[in-house]
Amino acid sequence: MKLIIQIPCYNEAETLEVALNDLPEHIDGIDEIEYLVINDGSQDNTVEVARNWGVHHIVSFKQNQGLAKGFLAGLDGCLRCGADIIVNTDADDQYKGADIEKIVRPILDGEADIVIGARPIDETEHFSYIKKKLQHLGSWAVRRASKTDIPDAPSGFRAFSREAAMKLNVVNDYTYTLETIVQAGRENIPMKSVPIRTNAELRPSRLFKSMWGYVKKSILTILRAYVMYKPLKAFTYLCVPFLAIGIGIGIRFLYYMSIGQSGGKVQSLILGCTLIIIGVLVFVIGILADTIAANRRILQDIQFHVKSIEYGRHDPDINIVGSHRRKERGA
């Protein structure tokens, strides 16, 4: 059983070594542990720090691509290197390395294919009151959209089985955390949450520049993921108000016509017909979107089988810059 711990990095030279030193070297049930760093176009000496520490594999972008693309590139690299389990953690040492054993245990025991570490948000001192409330609100929205019970959706401390990693797709450029939960929930991928601990903050978060920017992007990500995986339901909800108001106006016009007072109310009839037409068009769009979604599921199934064949080769040299032997700590 091979575990690869991946760490997305963008200018993390100051904190990367701290995070790496905190990672476990042995876990019961794991035969081999390797480390992979995703260099997302860093302009400092992040790569040099990783190589000097003895990181086994480095996946590099020439310029910054964002957290979502870096995450997917890391999964691809880990799968090509033969990982049976993949753990994603942060380069700022936000999560305790000792808790990696807690999030891989449900996968080892066959209880889940994705495990997400739930942070003690209310007890985290460097989280502001507003941020804590927004974290809870965002997690609630993701639970509703994904039909799961994950309490900490924005948490990036996660473990994936090989099969789950091959099934995941992320289409937004912002972050993978919310979309992957919605996808896993809607695709019935077994998922579990375990409580974890966090370390003191080493640097401010770089994921968003303002609280409003974070909220806006998170809402758009959740809505987009929901529409992608449940398009017919989403467009049905959208068309109902148009149809209801349009039909209501039509019934009102028929009532006045039955009592001979329809004169001067033609405008409302036109409005009602327009709203009904819009509602029908939205519903038709939903049917088309649902057909496209069915097509996407077929393509995902094909993609999964292609990946099974491709990653079965365990070729660690494809698209991976630098493959190194792990140095013993203190050597």
Report, as an integer, the average pLDDT of 284-290.
Answer: 93
Q: Does residue 329 surpass a pLDDT of 60? A: no
What is the structure's pLDDT at 318? 38
Q: Of 24-28, 59-63, 210-214, 249-253, which gets the smallest average pLDDT? A: 210-214
What is the model's pLDDT at position 203?
Answer: 65
Identify the band that residue 143 occupies on the pLDDT scale cut at 50, 70 and 90: confident
Q: pLDDT-derived band of residue 314, with 50, 70 and 90 as boundaries? A: very low
Q: What is the pLDDT of residue 209?
A: 60
Report whether pLDDT(282) > 70.
yes
Residue 124 phi/psi, 5-degree rounding, is -80, 115
User: Residue 194: which pLDDT band, with cuts at 50, 70 and 90?
Assistant: very high
Q: What is the DSSP secondary structure assignment for residue 331, as one 8-state letter?
A: -
Helix (H) or strand (E) holding 296: helix 266-311
| Per-residue pLDDT, 216 | 76
Report the SS3 class of residue 76: helix
What are the tokens at 204? 């401010």
* Element spanning 39, H or E: strand 32-40
**Pair 308, 165: CB distance under 8 Å:** no
What pLDDT does residue 248 have? 94
The answer to whether residue 273 scores a pLDDT higher than 90 is: yes
Do 161 and 151 form a contact (C-beta atoms < 8 A)?
A: no
DSSP run (H or E) holding 325: none
Q: How large is the average pLDDT for residues 181-202?
A: 88
Residue in the structure block whose two tokens are 């760490």: 7
Per the prediction, the chain carries an average pLDDT of: 85
Read off the pLDDT of each residue in 99-104 and give the average, rounded to a whole number. 94
